[in-house]
Structure 1
Amino acid sequence: MVIALILTGGFATRLRPLTLTKPKALLPILDKPLLDWIIEGVKKASIKDVILSVRYLSHLIKSRYGDGSTYNVNIRYLEESKPLGDAGPLRLAFERGEIEGTFLTIYGDVFSDLNLLDLINYHKKKGGIATLALAKVEDPLRYGVVVLDDEGKVKSFIEKPKERPPSNIVNAGVYVFEPEVIKYIPSKYPSKISLHLIPKLLEVGDVYGYVHEGIWSDIGVPIDYRRANYMALKKLYPNGYIDKTAEIGDDVEIINPAFIGKNVIVGRGSKLGPLTVINEAVRIGTSCRIKGSIVMMGTLIDDSVVIGDSIIGEKSFIGKWVRIEDGVVLGDEVVIDDEVFIARNAIILPFKEVTSDVREEGKVVL
């Protein structure tokens, strides 16, 4: 029986300010947390036993998922008392008797429609010590790059190559491991799967790659997080989605694909989309223009606001005639006063009130 170990304990510093108030795995993709999507994928593979490796803001994950009964899986928690890296929880799980046989390991920051059952069956057919799920990307320099032979065996694995990468096939952050891999994980923490474990496995056994051709994105930085939402939107709702409880005013223009969640109110004359996600209980005033953006749950946006290609955290308030340029990220419960201008790529930390223009591009407002 295969068990799924999902790694959710990281600090996710590159996603701040969003991750100052919640772990990365709880950031929403469309209308539900990323971890919900991952658990649903595990369940579709007929896997009932899930271990969540947790540390940073672990109470938020535990309070949402509990014992897993709401999700029709059995969830146990592996609490990290200190940072273990992404390989350390594998060893810890075995030392505590949580895992004995073949197991899945899934990064908690990956959004994908990968069929996990197909991956497991491929692993069993090949008979190797490990199988890596792989994806094709346009910018492989940011990832672990893999070269395969004609049989699907991994010939080389280069973590974030500094020079021209030998392929555009990269580590997708989902693995099937046999239990003997544990003896190749360093006993000293922290340790990394890509730096310490995979290179060693390539020396001692057969490691295979399974190339996934569908949706795949990590959410390591804000632009990746937006991209994951765009992918989900285009795949699941190419013609857009408006929840039946949403109230859409007169003369509102929606350019699809766009996602309008539960109990959203959009004032007359506003224009939304494309590639825009409006989460539950957001209220948008009249004559607003929002495109390419994610507006999280409970945010209030007053009249005549313009927001482009940005992320607005939960329960924020955006005053009248505010203009938010591309690439801005607001943490949760930010207040922006009327007529304020926010320059491109600015970052505003949670609970901050902004009373004057932010003219410097990329400025961090503490």
Structure 2
Amino acid sequence: MKALVLSGGSGTRLRPITHTAPKQLVPVANKPVLYYVLEDIAQAGVTEVGIVVGESAREIQEAVGDGSRFGLQVTYIRQEAPLGLAHAVLIAREFLGDDDFVMYLGDNFVVGGIADLVREFRTQRPDAQILLTRVPDPAAFGVAELGADGQVVSLEEKPQQPRSDLALVGVYLFSPAVHEAVRSIKPSWRGELEITHALQWLIDEHRDVRSTTIHGYWKDTGNVTDMLEVNRTALETVEARTHGVVDTDSEVIGRVRIEAGARIRGSRIVGPAVIGTGTLVSGSYIGPYTSIGDNCRVENGEIEFSIMLSDSRLEGVGRVHGSLIGRNVTVTPALHIPSTNRLILGDHSEVQIAS
């Protein structure tokens, strides 16, 4: 069995962060989301992985390399444009051959991994197996309709009138039968070859398409709100350890991971939280569910339920909450000019200012 990991998306909902880094490499608990995906695949016993890449191919290749750090053998497959999930299967035909495979979206986060799902598929070998979860806003996803016997009856991509609240999770398992399906469908109104259309083709051809409804945690890390929620979930598994230096005037409470080279001076840190390598925290408060990247500086400030990426500085500001701070960012107090806000923002930024 092989794996196909899709890492070619542009991440428009995470701009401006994704202007300089692919969304799959944005870290949660100081580890890129893509790494969690690759670890899931390795734990499921799959070792041959094709990673579909697009404009950010160089960054993905530099981050993953040949896959050996994950116990994997990685092949990169270039997708010239984001033309749909079924198109990714189409262009990966040579790599996939006639093997079964799991397709995993590189920006998805599934608590508990996929090992049980892969084991079930290998045992029963349907033509396709999909993961479903109940969501409050199914119109934003691919939606499945199940019959009375639990069989998949129909699938629709982002329907205006959803027939159920069962959304497709970004993990799919396929036999080689899917290759005929992706060759047989036409582009949707979005100009993409939709994987839902390929699955529907299999259903219409009376192939065996099964589903598993998961009740655990799953997130598509496509926007800031979901990134922060995934960061919170990932931090729940953090084990307390201190490889850096914490002075006697500091207080560390709960599950806090302090990496080598980090320095904590006169500060209070409440976990779960991670403090990256080479980071200085001085005279500050770091609250729960916060990830501070490598080589950052937090001085005379407060931050909680946030992600701060590497080489950034937070100095002399009040409580920062629910924020995603990019790389090489400086956050400092504004000049004391009454009723004035001074902003320097990149394209597609979003700012909330208290009145």
TM-score (norm 1): 0.81
**1:300 and 2:313 correspond:** yes
Q: How does 1:125-204 map to 2 (within 5 A)?
A: 125-149=123-147, 152-163=150-161, 166-167=164-165, 169-186=166-183, 191-204=192-205
Q: Among residues 251, 265, 279, which one is paired with 1:249 in the alignment?
A: 265
| Structure 1, unaligned runs of 5 or more | 323-336, 353-357, 362-366
Alpha-carbon shift at residue 225 of structure 1 (Å): 1.4
Q: What CA RMSD, in Å, does the superposition of the two structures yield over aligned residues?
A: 2.9
CA distance in 2, matches of 1:15, 1:197: 28
Q: Counterpart of 1:83 in structure 2: which amino acid?
A: P
Q: Among residues 116, 119, 143, which one is paired with 1:118 in the alignment?
A: 116
CA distance in 2, matches of 1:359, 1:134: 34
- The equivalent residue for 2:245 is none
- The equivalent residue for 2:58 is 59
Q: Describe the SS at the equivalent of 1:280.
A: coil
Cα shift readout 1:54-86 (whole Å, capped 9, x = no counterpart)? 012111111222222233211001112333322
- The equivalent residue for 1:331 is none
Q: Choose 125-134 or 233-242, whichever is displaced more.
A: 233-242
Cα shift readout 1:23-59 (whole Å, capped 9, x = no counterpart)? 1111112111111111111111111100000012111
Alpha-carbon shift at residue 194 of structure 1 (Å): 4.0
Q: Describe the SS at the equivalent of 1:134.
A: strand
**1:234 and 2:231 correspond:** no
- Classify 1:115/1:293 alpha carbon distance in 2 versus 1 (closer, same or farther; 3 Å): closer
CA distance in 2, matches of 1:203, 1:342: 61
Q: Among residues 265, 272, 294, which one is paired with 1:280 in the alignment?
A: 294
- Classify 1:184/1:256 alpha carbon distance in 2 versus 1 (closer, same or farther; 3 Å): same
- Classify 1:125/1:47 alpha carbon distance in 2 versus 1 (closer, same or farther; 3 Å): closer
Q: Choose 301-310 or 15-24, whichever is displaced more.
A: 301-310
- Classify 1:341/1:278 alpha carbon distance in 2 versus 1 (closer, same or farther; 3 Å): farther
Q: Describe the SS at the equivalent of 2:236.
A: helix
Alpha-carbon shift at residue 15 of structure 1 (Å): 1.4
CA distance in 2, matches of 1:223, 1:347: 22
- The equivalent residue for 1:223 is 225
Contact 1:296 1:312 in 2 (8 A): yes
Contact 1:258 1:274 in 2 (8 A): yes
- The equivalent residue for 1:41 is 40
Instruction: Determine what percentage of the aligned residue pairs are the same residue.
Output: 29
Contact 2:4 2:102 in 1 (8 A): yes
Contact 1:17 1:347 in 2 (8 A): no
- The equivalent residue for 2:326 is 313
Contact 1:6 1:106 in 2 (8 A): yes
Q: Describe the SS at the equivalent of 2:154.
A: strand
Alpha-carbon shift at residue 235 of structure 1 (Å): 4.1
Contact 1:111 1:216 in 2 (8 A): yes
Q: Counterpart of 1:9 in structure 2: which amino acid?
A: G
- The equivalent residue for 1:213 is 215
Q: How does 1:72-111 map to 2 (within 5 A)?
A: 72-94=71-93, 96-111=94-109
Q: Describe the SS at the equivalent of 2:84.
A: coil
Alpha-carbon shift at residue 279 of structure 1 (Å): 1.4
Alpha-carbon shift at residue 259 of structure 1 (Å): 2.4
CA distance in 2, matches of 1:54, 1:340: 49
CA distance in 1, matches of 2:273, 2:149: 41
Q: Among residues 246, 258, 277, which one is paired with 1:262 in the alignment?
A: 277
- The equivalent residue for 2:345 is 348
Contact 2:138 2:158 in 1 (8 A): yes
Contact 1:300 1:316 in 2 (8 A): yes
Q: Counterpart of 1:184 in structure 2: which amino acid?
A: A
Contact 2:156 2:197 in 1 (8 A): no
Alpha-carbon shift at residue 193 of structure 1 (Å): 3.5
Cα shift readout 1:317-339 (whole Å, capped 9, x = no counterpart)? 122x25xxxxxxxxxxxxxx898
Contact 1:318 1:338 in 2 (8 A): no
- Classify 1:226/1:58 alpha carbon distance in 2 versus 1 (closer, same or farther; 3 Å): same
| Structure 2, unaligned runs of 5 or more | 241-253
CA distance in 2, matches of 1:235, 1:242: 11
Contact 1:276 1:291 in 2 (8 A): yes
CA distance in 1, matches of 2:116, 2:337: 53
- The equivalent residue for 1:8 is 7
Alpha-carbon shift at residue 240 of structure 1 (Å): 2.9
Q: Describe the SS at the equivalent of 1:120.
A: helix
Contact 2:84 2:193 in 1 (8 A): yes
Alpha-carbon shift at residue 104 of structure 1 (Å): 0.7
- The equivalent residue for 1:271 is 285
Contact 2:10 2:22 in 1 (8 A): yes
Aligned length: 332
